[in-house]
Amino acid sequence: METILWYHYLAAFFAGMILTNAIPHLVHGLSGDKFPTPFSKPPGKGLSSPLLNTLWACFNLAIGYILFNTSKLTSNHTLLVITFFAGILATGMISLNFSKKDKE
């Protein structure tokens, strides 16, 4: 069995976060809807164009893919899988901030 090092866990966690973050940006971008990105004004609150959201999603997918491969994530490494899903959950928790964007 392959040795798992600390940075494999870090890569798995951030792969989960970044890959999950790509989903809403890709959906909004491909649907033609504006949605906040880090490049909107103000960052994360203003709305970015569908094209920018699609590009941001593709960037997230590329970085997430690299991190996923770096993590050596397989079903044989249960703790890595749990760490990956913890990253997904962390993104879900952070997204609660965006639920207020339409109310401000």
- For 42-64, the pLDDT digits (tens) are 887 789 999 999 999 999 999 99
Q: What is the pLDDT of residues 62-78, one digit of tens each?
A: 999 999 999 999 989 99
Structure tokens given for 87? 């990253």
Instruction: Please say if the pLDDT value at position 1 is more than 70.
Output: no
Contact criterion met (CB below 8 Å) for 12 and 71: yes
Give the pLDDT of residue 79. Answer: 95
Structure tokens given for 40? 């909107």
Of 6, 22, 21, 27, nearest in space to 80 by CA: 6
Of 30, 23, 5, nearest in space to 91 by CA: 23
Q: What is the pTM of this model?
A: 0.88
